[in-house]
Amino acid sequence: MGSLCAIGEPLRVQGFAMAGAVVLPATEPEQVRRAWQSRPAGVEVVVLTPAAAAVLGTAVDEPGGPLSVVLPS
């Protein structure tokens, strides 16, 4: 079974750790891109903050990549 990962501003993603998600805090665009590239193997779902999703754009649509979910604003 795959895992869950959350990427974005620390205050918006830190709670996902309590549910067992891998949390990759990132506030600056380069941090967001690095977090996306360094997500652990086997991650099937990535929760993104709206700001992180805006930085990544269509990169989240890579074939065979994880399902991406954007938190509401």
The CATH number assigned to the domain holding 12 equals: 3.40.50.10580
For 10, left (φ over 0), alpha (ψ -120 to 50), or beta?
A: alpha
- Each of the 73 residues of the chain gets a pLDDT tens digit; together they read 579 999 999 999 999 999 999 999 999 999 999 999 999 999 999 999 999 999 999 999 989 999 999 999 9
Domain that holds residue 55: 3-70
Q: CA separation (Å) from 72 to 39, 42, 44, 51, 69?
A: 22, 25, 20, 11, 9
Domain tally for the chain? 1
The tokens describing 46, both together, are 């990535």
